[in-house]
Amino acid sequence: MTSTPPVLEISGLNVNYGLGAKAVHAVRDIDLTLHRGEVLGLAGESGSGKSTLAYAVTRLLPPPGVITGGEVRYHPRTGQPIDILDLDPEGLRAFRWSEISLVFQGAMNSLNPVHTVRSQLTDVLKAHRPDLTGAQRQDRAAELLALVGISADRLGSYPHQLSGGMRQRVMIAMALALDPEIVILDEPTTALDVVMQRQILKQLVRLRNELDFSVVFITHDISLLIEFSDRIAIMYGGRVVEEAAAREIYRTAHHPYSHGLLHSFPALHGPRRELTGIPGSPPDLTAMPSGCAFHPRCPKAFEPCAQRVPTLGPVPADDGRTVACWLHADH
Ligand code: ATP
Ligand code: SF4
């Protein structure tokens, strides 16, 4: 999958909440590439910066969030790459939904309770596709529902008449309404039971195969990513600390934090792992530990760890994997 060309290249991205000495540095020097047609999983404990990264990339960062540096290059199918961070409000309006769409955390509860599914789907189309007639919008709304496995006779339903899983599917249908090249899903299924989560993700991967978009899937549950993503990037304290093919991470996680995450969730398939979890708590971003931010919790910490920040770099003899850990610091 990584042999396909990039569709989104994030480089040197930094995001703060607030300004000056009290700013919280939530995303730190992120370099990450999404390839065309792939499902990239983003994992990490709560507070590791996953949502902040998604909001920054889509320019939906709420105040006091500020992008303090970096580039987010989008590669259209034809033409020159665009730096999303340079788009003006008009350019952004044209860009969002049609090129990149985001399903927010808890989005299934953000459907408007007093509007039917039909009107919520057709409203998106009305706002962005003025060329469509009313009848074409209705047809497209039915088509979108069918894509996510909901029968068209649900178009007249209100959100409270749908199950949680159906509401989530409607949100995914809305995200797909304008045929975007990239869909970012931020913990889209945490409020659902595990069986429902898997069904929705399976369907998403099928849709990706049919419609040829790329996905960034964000969750703290790495076992879901192992099953459904092509590549996984693991975040800790605002940084990516390991990135590799999902099967490689499953086989051996190189970063001690990735190893801990893998042993924090029961595997959905394959041999059972002992669930040891990770001792301690995620770092306080206002008082980050020196050196490697994971060192106070790391069972393998040694001499350089508390002094110097390890950078993300390739691991010798490991195909395409990058790790930020002094244990693998040949780079
Ligand atoms: P979760 O899985 O809980 O959503 P996450 O990995 O997505 O976590 P973020 O929500 O991106 O993490 O938060 C990253 C850090 O930024 C957290 O430490 C959080 O406290 C901080 N943060 C988020 N929003 C704000 C805000 N509005 N003001 C100040 N700090 C914030
Ligand atoms: Fe552990 Fe050191 Fe690697 Fe950080 S750099 S994960 S403290 S071994």
* 124 and 95 assigned to the same domain: no
- Let me know the angle formed at the C-alpha of 203 by 199 and 209, rounded to the nearest 5 degrees: 150
Average pLDDT over the chain reads 90
* 227 and 309 assigned to the same domain: yes
* 150 and 290 assigned to the same domain: no
Q: Is residue 19 part of a domain?
A: yes
pLDDT exceeds 70 at position 191? no
> From ligand 1's centre to the CA of 238, what distance in Å?
9
Closest CA to ligand 2's atom 3? 325
pLDDT of residue 71: 98
* 167 and 95 assigned to the same domain: no
pLDDT of residue 194: 74
- Let me know the angle formed at the C-alpha of 16 by 295 and 98, rounded to the nearest 5 degrees: 115
pLDDT exceeds 70 at position 267? no
pLDDT of residue 268: 60
Q: From the CB of 327, is ligand 2 less than 6 Å away?
A: yes
> From ligand 1's centre to the CA of 122, what distance in Å?
32
Of all helices (H) and strands (E), which one includes residue 204?
A: helix 194-211
Chain segment 131-167, per-residue pLDDT in tens: 999 999 999 999 999 999 999 999 999 999 998 888 9
pLDDT of residue 1: 45
pLDDT exceeds 80 at position 193? no
pLDDT of residue 323: 96
Mean local confidence (pLDDT), 186-201: 76
With the most atoms of ligand 1 within 8 angstroms of its CB, the residue from 103, 240, 285 to mutate is: 285
Q: Is residue 1 part of a domain?
A: no
Chain segment 31-63, per-residue pLDDT in tens: 999 999 999 999 999 999 999 999 999 999 999
How many domains does the structure of the chain reveal? Answer: 2
Tokens at 21, concatenated: 């000495």
* 243 and 153 assigned to the same domain: no
Distance from C-alpha of 226 to C-alpha of 250, rounded to nearest angstrom:
7
Q: From the CB of 295, is ligand 2 less than 6 Å away?
A: yes
With the most atoms of ligand 2 within 8 angstroms of its CB, the residue from 261, 303, 325 to mutate is: 325
pLDDT of residue 201: 84
Segments forming the whole domain that contains residue 160: 109-179
Mean local confidence (pLDDT), 165-193: 87
With the most atoms of ligand 1 within 8 angstroms of its CB, the residue from 42, 48, 60 to mutate is: 48
* 218 and 85 assigned to the same domain: yes
* 47 and 172 assigned to the same domain: no
pLDDT of residue 75: 97
Least reliable range by pLDDT among 81-85, 227-231, 251-255, 264-268: 264-268
Q: Is residue 104 part of a domain?
A: no
Q: From the CB of 47, is ligand 1 less than 6 Å away?
A: yes
Token pair 């395409």 in the structure block, residue: 320
Q: Which of 179, 207, 228 corresponds to the end of one domain?
A: 179
pLDDT of residue 331: 56
Contact, 280 vs 256, CB < 8 A? no
- 51: domain CATH number is 3.40.50.300
Q: Is residue 84 part of a domain?
A: yes
Q: Which of 179, 207, 232 corresponds to the end of one domain?
A: 179
Q: Which of 158, 179, 200 corresponds to the end of one domain?
A: 179
* 262 and 163 assigned to the same domain: no
Instruction: Work out which ligand 1 atom sits closest to the CA atom of 53.
Output: 11
Least reliable range by pLDDT among 104-108, 111-115, 284-288: 104-108
Of all helices (H) and strands (E), which one includes residue 6?
A: strand 6-17
